[in-house]
Structure 1
Amino acid sequence: MSPSRMLLPSTSLKRFPIRPQSSRLPNIHHPTTRNHSSMKDKATVIDEFNGLVNMSSGELSEWLKEDASISSGWTKDGTGETVGHQSGRHIVDILENNPDMVPEKYRDGDIDHMRKVVSYCKRHLAQEEQAKKNTNSKSYKSLKNWGHDALKE
């Protein structure tokens, strides 16, 4: 038989091999999956929070009263208040309850929220240059609701 008339084996199985179930990696990026070993310790969270939140409780309280603050962001639970605005109120509470930033005086709920603030601010500062350039941008207003004034950097 000539080479041009030979039948070639099917390659479809070679392109899409089936891996055994045991070789599949866990989905560590799924939102409900927690990787506690990579969770920052309390001291790191406190340090990063105090570095990223560069507004005083008074400055943040005044900002949260402005229309730009109230209307910035998205609502989660139908209350009409944005997630960032709720966060800002919690940050004011944290700052007022522990103005000297004594690590032992933070409550467990404070640390949990501080962890969210650190995550939010770091993520948005890395992604959104508008926050640093335009005070009318959604990025700037949203970060300010989370206690970070990009103009103070």
Structure 2
Amino acid sequence: MTMTIIARSLLATALLASLYGCATTPVPTSSAENVPVRRVLDRSLLIAKDGYGQVIVKRDGGLQYGACNSRVYANGIPVADISTGEKVTFYLPEGENIIGAEATQPLCGGGLVETKVTVVRSRPVIFRVGYGTNGDFFIQPTAF
């Protein structure tokens, strides 16, 4: 009976440690799926306009936090709720803008995170949303 309790404790500890140490992984932009239209919250931002540049925000892949969607914001306006391996492509005015993200479910962790982005027409800017090894939620530029 004592071995059973010890074995269960070790198994539980190992499972918790494996979840804690998992980080999400970048998804290549070409492999990321477009967010379904039903989860786009402001379709006006999806339309290219003169004087605007392209912004791509994609959600990392990985099992950890896979059931958690992330809400993407542009200048405080909700753009879309993206899931793992998805991206949303939208357009912002050239110059400095603020984009952000937060988990849509309270149990997923990850308060609102924001970053400044300089938008130019001539090149898209690409960001990734994910979780680090300590469970920290982030949005950051990416080359992947």
Using structure 1 for the length normalisation, give the TM-score: 0.25
Structure number with the higher helix fraction is 1
Structure number with the higher strand fraction is 2
The higher radius of gyration belongs to 1
